Amino acid sequence: MPMVHRWDERVTIWLQHAAPTFDWPGAIVVFLGNAEVLIPAVVAGDVLLGRNPGRVMPILVFAAVLSAASLLAVILKHLIPHPGPPEAFQRHHLPGLHVPTPYSFPSGHTLRTTVLCGTALRNRPWLAGALILCMMVALVYMGDHWLSDVLGGLCLGWVLLEAGGVIRKSRSRSCRRG
């Protein structure tokens, strides 16, 4: 058994025993991170809050980015041989769209949450970090992912945020130049 797998298993066992009554809160957090829930909720929230009155394009672009990030996670789950937690660790309570993949690395939930919180809460990094951590803990606790899966999703999300920041800065410079 590889060292990472032993570590993943020990962390999952510890977390599930340390908080035995976290099933429903964890299930709700994981459900809210499902792509089919999160992406429409982000678009609806933006429209209802009137953040960009008359400008639908920015939120649709962001929804496309979240969708592309989700697709990237699914593709990587087909390419990186890293099996997820066995059925004995899984605690399923709420339905959701399940895209069958042979492996579990990286976590799409963590990837989406990182991109969303890192963008929407850019000026509140502690809140963004707390929400991302909640998603990561819930995923491991519920047996949906190993710790290594959620860390992979976090790192990939961070890379996408940094790339987005570079693009945003270069676009603002080119707009200033005319």
Structure-token match 């590889």, residue found = 2
DSSP string, 82-149: -----GGG----S-------S---S-HHHHHHHHHHHHHTTT-HHHHHHHHHHHHHHHHHTTSS-HHH
3-class SS at 64?
helix
* pLDDT of res. 57: 72
* pLDDT of res. 115: 97
Cα gap 112→65, rounded to integer Å = 9
Is residue 98 within 8 A of residue 74, CB to CB? The reply is no
Q: Average pLDDT of each block of 10 consecutive residues along the chain (178 residues)?
A: 86 90 90 93 85 71 93 95 91 71 94 96 96 97 96 97 86 66
